[in-house]
Each structure stands twice: as C-alpha cells, then as structure tokens.
Amino acid sequence: MKPNERVQAVYSGRQPDQVPLMLDLSHWYKKNMHVPFNLSGFTEVEQGLVNLHKQVGAVAYVEMGGFYTVLPDDPEVSIRSSTQDGIFTTRISTPLGTLHEERVFNPDSYSYGIRKHLLDSTADFQAVEFLMERLQCRPRWDHYHAWQTALGDLAYPYAQLPYSGSGYLISRNMGVEKTVFAVLDEPEKVRRLVDAVNACNLRILDAIIDGPFETLIISDNYDSNVQTRDFFERYVRDYYTEIARRLHAAGKYLAIHVDGESRGVLGWLAECGVDCADALTPAPMFAHTPAEMRAEAGPQLILSGGIPATIFGPGASDDEFVECVKRWLDTRLTSPRLLLAAGDQVPTDAPFHRIAMLPDLVARYGT
C-alpha cells in the first residue's frame, strides 16, 4: 500500500498492511533549517518541508497553511496582524470595542508565547460576538491541490476548523485562569460567547464541506486536568457531536487535536462520534500507557500520536525511543485503528537519526 492509502484504510475501518507513519515536521523544519517563522503560516507550498517529508517517508497531514480565508463582511470591522522585532500583534476593531493580542518570539523554543491575551475580561465578549456574526469563509482549494501534487503519495492534508467556542477561550484567547473564573462567575456570558463562536464555525464548515479533503481537524488542545467532564458536557459535547454528524453525512471524518492529558477524554470523544484523537501523548509524559489509552477509547476511535517529546528529544536514549515506539505499535493487535505520530509536533531538539529510524521501526514492529 502507498503511505497515504494506509491512512485512508485506517479511517475507513480497513486494516492496512502496516501502521501508517504521519509526522508534523513543520516546527522541526523551521528551527533546524533556519526558516523564518511567521505565525501567519505558509501561504504557498514550502518545498523544503516537502523534501524533508520525502527524505523521511512520513505522511504530511497538518501545518500546510489555510485552505480557506475568513474575513469580515462589515466595513466597520477590521482585523490587522503584523510582526515587528519578534512581536506578533493582532488588533481587531469593532463598533463594540477593540481587541489586542501580543505574542513574543522565543528563539530557543522557536515559538511565540502569548504576552497579552486577546480577551481581558467578559467585557470583551460583545466585540467577539459582533465579529463572529460577520465573518465569511472563502475556500482556497488551489492551495490544497498544490500541496497534494507536491507531496504525492505522502499527502493526506487535514482541513481545519478554528477553535471551538470553549477552545477559543481556554486554549487560545483568554487563558485557563480567566476562563475558569468567567465560567464560575458569569456562565451566561460564557455560554453566549461559546455559542457565537460555534455558530460561526458551523457556517465555515458548511462552506467547505464539499471540498476535496477527507478528514477535518479541530485543534482545541484538550487537557482533562483543566477541562473537566462537567466542562466538556456543558460546552463541548453537543458541538463535537454536530460536527461529526455533518461530516459523516458528507462521507468525511473528524479528528480532535488533544495535545494534553487524555485520561477520560478518549471515552468522551468516542461517545461524540469523533473518528480520531490526534496528538496523543502517553506515559511517561502523561498518565496512560498506550494499552490504557486503547482500553479507554474502545476499539473504534483512531489513536494518533504515541511518541512523547521527552522521548523523542535528547533526554532519552535510542533504546528508550525504540521501546516507546514498540509499545505504541503493539496496540495494533487490539485494534487496527492506529496512526504513529509525534505526541504533537516533532520537537525541535529531536535528533534527525531518530526521525529517520521510524520507517524501519514501523516496518519491523507495525505490520
């Protein structure tokens, strides 16, 4: 089977000849190849990243830039972003207020940490709701097809929705502490904000659902240490269930980017009809072993991930790395619904020889 055919087999419920290898090499590539990092993302095919995937033999699935644009259709609303002296600034102006975010580049981690969140308090929510009602989506499938052509058999691009309403607050624009206080002190305002963001996202989904992609991902960065079962039931379950319903009706699939403590989350996602839990990081970085993840998820939810950053990087030995990969691949004996990937992005300090080891490890232990 071709590499992307293996991914298609897993999503369609068939058994591939071996566990698919999928990697997000974008962050490793930018840092180690000294590529300038702009949060606006790739605006065209990045040939160096394509060449890296071909050298490694890993399927590319995320971080290819946007396959659509979202812009306000109201002249009273403006969204401006710029990068200067390592500071990425976003300013959103509406008749109900102006929102301002700052992110600062860290050359060591090669990332932009949030110095000032977009939202300071629930007083900013009205401006967000005003904005969400006026955003319109314009697909850019030429960008999707360009990546497919460049990557060939290593292409399985996920389309991506913006953060859900809950993720918009807690994972991205307000932070954990302020969101938790808002949920406890002003739940009605939080509910309205979440509903406004989710309604906007559903309009985006309607605009792209007939596109060429097979799988859609929502990068909510879920973590059950913070986002409890009660939080999930109140703000997340119905939304994920509706997204899954619409995608399945169109013959497509839904992946949720977890990227945190998955204990408890996997069962919740399976109940919503989610097809894949992405960016899963097992012990020793988080609580569950791969076998415990599979037991909680049940046999149908696709588990994607498996290699913690602490094992991928120089802090672990090659033997520990191999054993970690083997433990993840062993779960294929319980269910073939499995993808081998990094716990999130391949970390920037991962030795290249470990990345290059993965195709042979899958061929040896993942058939």
Collapse the DSSP code of 327 into the 3-class scheme (helix H, G, I; strand E, B; otherwise coil) and give the result.
Answer: helix
Q: Does residue 100 belong to any structural domain of this protein?
A: no
Give domain status of residue 116, yes or no.
Answer: no
With respect to residue 76, please indicate whether it lies within any of the assigned structural domains: no
* Sheet strands (E) in the chain: 68-72, 78-84, 87-94, 97-106, 111-116, 135-139, 159-161, 215-218, 253-257, 276-280, 302-307, 338-342
Domain count, the chain: 1
Question: What are the residues facing 21 on neighbouring strands?
Answer: 340
Closest to 109 in 3D by CA, of 46, 28, 36: 28
- Domain assignment present for 113: no
Note whether residue 94 is domain-resident.
no
Render each residue's pLDDT in the chain as its tens digit; 367 residues.
Answer: 999 999 999 999 999 999 999 999 999 999 999 998 878 789 899 999 999 999 999 999 999 999 999 999 999 999 999 988 889 999 999 999 999 999 999 998 899 999 999 999 999 999 999 999 999 999 999 999 999 999 999 999 999 999 999 999 999 999 999 999 999 999 999 999 999 999 999 999 999 999 999 999 999 999 999 999 999 999 999 999 999 999 999 999 999 999 999 999 999 999 999 999 999 999 999 999 999 999 999 999 999 999 999 999 999 999 999 999 999 999 999 999 999 999 999 999 999 999 999 999 999 999 9
| CA gap 192, 258 in Å, rounded | 24
So what's the pLDDT on residue 40?
75
Looking at residue 37, its pLDDT comes to 82
CA angle at 65 for the pair 57 and 301, rounded to the nearest 5°: 60
Cα–Cα distance for residue pair 19/24, rounded to 1 Å: 16
Nearest CA among 143, 5, 150, 2 for reference residue 69 = 143
Q: Does residue 67 fall inside a structural domain?
A: yes
Q: What are the phi and psi torsion angles at 122 (to 5°)?
A: -65, -15
Q: Domain for residue 115, yes or no?
A: no
CA 269 remoteness from chain centre: 15
Task: Identify whether 150 is part of a domain.
Answer: yes
C-alpha to C-alpha distance for 207 and 39, rounded to whole angstroms: 24
Q: Which domain holds residue 10?
A: 3-71+122-365
User: Residue 21: which CATH number?
Assistant: 3.20.20.210
